[in-house]
Amino acid sequence: MAENNFDWKKYLIVFLITMGLFFTAIYLSNFFGSKKINELKSIQDKIAINILSSETEFSLLSDLSCKNVSGSALSAELDDLGSKLEWSQKNLGAKEEVTSLRQYYSLLEIKDYLLMKKISARCGVKSAFILYFYTTADNCTLCDQESVVLSSLREKYPELRVYSFDFSTDLSAVKAMLNIYKIKDTALPAIVIDDELLTGFHGEEELDSKVQESFKLQESKPAGVLPKQ
Amino acid sequence: MATISNLIFQILVFFSVYVQVFLFVTFLENKKKIIRREGPITLKNYPSVTVIVPCWNEERTIAKTVESLHLINYPKDKLKILLVDDGSTDGTWEIMQRFSNHPNVQIFRKKNGGKYTALNLGLANTKTEFLACLDADSIAGVESLVRLMSYFENDPTTMAVAPSVIVNNPRNIIESAQKCEYYMSVYIKKMLGFMGAIHVTPGPLTVFRKKVFDDLGSYRHAHNTEDMEIAYRMQKNHYKIEQCNDAYVYTNTPKTARALYKQRSRWIYGFINNTIDYRHILFNRKYGNFSTFTVPAAIFSILSVAYLLSRIIYNFSNFIYHKFIVLKINGVGGLIPSHHLDLFFVNTQSLFFVIIFIYTFVFMSITVGRRMAEGKWSISLDTVYFFSVFGLIAPFWLLKAVYNTITARAPSWR
């Protein structure tokens, strides 16, 4: 007969080793997670400095000429940061940190939007602006589709700037935007182009023509006149 | 919902790691005891052994199987071979008759009744102290029997010894993948052997003391996995089962994904149903590691794979859905990634690292198993085949077995 071979000590030791492995995994995950958060912070700081510097430059030179005004933060950089933040919210453990970074990001977008609008109006830089409102709180399939359309348009027109705002962002500046354009969570995705509000899904062809109109509209405007808000 | 699902997932993953660590600790504890003998060995005594070969439509392999028994390094007068034709409809009986004039071969023919009935007919005609069964699709290595018998000589309490089953002459990806899996089994079985917790005494040449059947009764139908049920019965009665890693038996394995799927559905179905039949010994310390480790570990692996499959399907359908949107809006061009690879997007969730740990353990099991069987450290492409074939098909045969159990539909042999 075989002896009874149950040895609870071994079960315990194996349990502890397994816990050790799990903690190692959690440690590694946190380590790389915080590295990523730091990367996000440094990108964001860089963009913030860019915007601030452009704003300052703009105020300094407002009465002089447009040719010295450099563009604000690169649109591509803002997009890159946006997609990284979105990914982080889905995949990183540190939710609170990512949420506050996303609030900051929304604020930067608004600042960039206001500044670029002024620059383009004053100096006649060819540009078009889309404000895009979506939600991550509910399962919004139309938002998924609209995002793809906007990415494609952005690739087509480097002068087009798309600013995306998550409806659920808890930030007064974003809420103010929602109020200004009367955006409701039942009508998402929503797009604002040249102060016109479009709700629901809009295809690439339709938006393409709107963007082109927006470019034309700008050309017809005399330089140096601020658009009426 | 998401948090409950996540919690279940974490628990399943935790136990998967636990099982691997348990096996690894057992390996470290017993490393020195694992021996691999190169040449022929001699025993003090050569007890008589009867080898029962149950056959059902094995005309293509039976001759080789019997010939391998004739070449085996064991005194001819101590080895009896019983060939049992379980109502074959092909030329098996004719081929068997060719061997009938050998002095140590006896042939039987009966109406088809399933493998266990063929084995029981052999059992009824066994008069020796030891007996082995050998599936008619397997070839016994020359030194296999004598090495298996040495375990009985060294330990009189040993009641059964299982060999290392190796894939015979793998020719395609499916067989090569199984070759790897069988190496891993050599490792796992050896560790379970050290723990006294082996749950299957495989058809290819496991040797038993006849006492096992005299005491515990003959083979049962056992949901078409009689070699598993007898091991459960032995464990229940505290009969010691060992694993002899250097006794090689070469077996023909399924050549197609479909055949493999069928075979594994049957095995898993057998496991689930034998476990249900023996549920009262589960988590009972009285029955040692068999009831507290082997069976729970197998149950957990079935649950994990089934759960993982549902998650994979969910994630994959999400992925396809997203690609579909891109395709619909942007055409084929949109599917080509436009941005460069950014390390930022590499997954660094803790689960990712845990899965790396699990893969490392599995990889190590295969390598150590290969070393125990072949005596060399090597890595081959088979490992890649193993991960892809088993990763892709295993979930489906698991689910099929679960489905069959729920609908009480017993799978057929072929």
Residue A204: its chain B contacts at CB < 8 A?
329-330
Residue B231: its chain A contacts at CB < 8 A?
none
What local confidence, expressed as pLDDT, does residue A144 receive? 79
Please give the residue that has the higher pLDDT: either A207 or A76: A207
Among B398, B186, B162, smallest CA distance to B272 is for B398
A148-188: per-residue pLDDT in tens? 888 888 877 877 888 888 888 888 888 888 888 888 777 77
DSSP state of B131: E
pLDDT greater than 60 at residue A64: no
Residue B333: its chain A contacts at CB < 8 A?
none
Closest CA in chain A for residue B357 = A21
Residue B334: its chain A contacts at CB < 8 A?
148, 152
Q: How many CB atoms within 10 Å of residue B76?
A: 11
Residue B330: its chain A contacts at CB < 8 A?
148, 152, 204
Burial pattern A62-74, b for ≥16 Cβ within 10 A else e, equals eeeeeeebeebbe
**pTM of the predicted protein model:** 0.82
Assess A155–B contact: CB distance below 8 Å, yes or no. yes
**Among candidates B18, B196, B322 on the partner chain, residue whose Cβ is nearest the Cβ of A14:** B18
**Among candidates A2, A10, A92 on the partner chain, residue whose Cβ is nearest the Cβ of B238:** A2
Contact A148 B357 (CB under 8 A): no
Closest CA in chain A for residue B192 = A5
What local confidence, expressed as pLDDT, does residue B212 receive? 96
Per-window interface: B 49-108 vs A, CB < 8 A: none
Closest CA in chain B for residue A11 = B22
- B177, with CB counted inside 10 A (0-12, 13-18, 19+), is buried
Please give the residue that has the higher pLDDT: either B360 or A139: B360
Q: How many residues does chain A have?
A: 229
Residue B25: its chain A contacts at CB < 8 A?
10, 13-14, 17
Assess A29–B contact: CB distance below 8 Å, yes or no. yes
Choose, out of B242, B335, B341, B354, the residue to mutate when testing the contact with A (most A CBs < 10 Å). Answer: B354
What local confidence, expressed as pLDDT, does residue A57 receive? 74
Highest-confidence segment of A43-52, A119-128, B143-152:
B143-152
What local confidence, expressed as pLDDT, does residue B324 receive? 79
Question: Over chain B (414 residues), what is each successive 10-residue block's mean pLDDT?
Answer: 75 90 95 89 94 94 94 94 94 93 93 94 96 94 95 95 93 91 94 94 94 96 92 95 94 92 90 93 90 92 78 77 75 58 73 86 91 81 83 78 76 60
CA distances from B104 to A111, B67, B100 (A): 95, 12, 9
**Among candidates B25, B351, B352 on the partner chain, residue whose Cβ is nearest the Cβ of A10:** B25
Give the E-state strand segments of B220-364 in sequence order.
240-251
Assess B347–A contact: CB distance below 8 Å, yes or no. yes
What local confidence, expressed as pLDDT, does residue A224 receive? 44
* Inter-axis angle of helices B2-30 and A8-61, nearest 10: 130
Contact B195 A5 (CB under 8 A): yes
What local confidence, expressed as pLDDT, does residue B405 receive? 81
Assess B32–A contact: CB distance below 8 Å, yes or no. no
Among A204, A92, A152, smallest CA distance to B349 is for A92
* Distance of alpha carbon B201 from alpha carbon A82, whole angstroms: 59
Contact A22 B157 (CB under 8 A): no
Contact B330 A5 (CB under 8 A): no
Q: How many residues does chain B have?
A: 414
Highest-confidence segment of A57-66, A71-80, B39-48, B309-318:
B39-48
Assess B396–A contact: CB distance below 8 Å, yes or no. no
Assess B340–A contact: CB distance below 8 Å, yes or no. no
pLDDT greater than 80 at residue A54: no
* Inter-axis angle of helices A172-180 and A95-123, nearest 10: 50
What's the mean per-residue pLDDT of chain A?
78
pLDDT greater than 70 at residue A106: yes
What local confidence, expressed as pLDDT, does residue A227 receive? 44
Contact B21 A91 (CB under 8 A): no
Closest CA in chain A for residue B211 = A1
Contact B22 A152 (CB under 8 A): no
Contact B350 A25 (CB under 8 A): yes
* Distance of alpha carbon B187 from alpha carbon B170, whole angstroms: 20
* Distance of alpha carbon A196 from alpha carbon B353, whole angstroms: 48
* Distance of alpha carbon B335 from alpha carbon A144, whole angstroms: 15
pLDDT greater than 60 at residue A226: no
What local confidence, expressed as pLDDT, does residue B313 receive? 77
Contact A29 B21 (CB under 8 A): no
Residue B191: its chain A contacts at CB < 8 A?
none
Contact A152 B329 (CB under 8 A): yes
What lies within 8 Å, CB to CB, of A111 at 6+ separation is: A51, A55
* Distance of alpha carbon A223 from alpha carbon A212, whole angstroms: 19
- Token pair for B129: 């102290």
What local confidence, expressed as pLDDT, does residue B403 receive? 81
Closest CA in chain A for residue B284 = A6
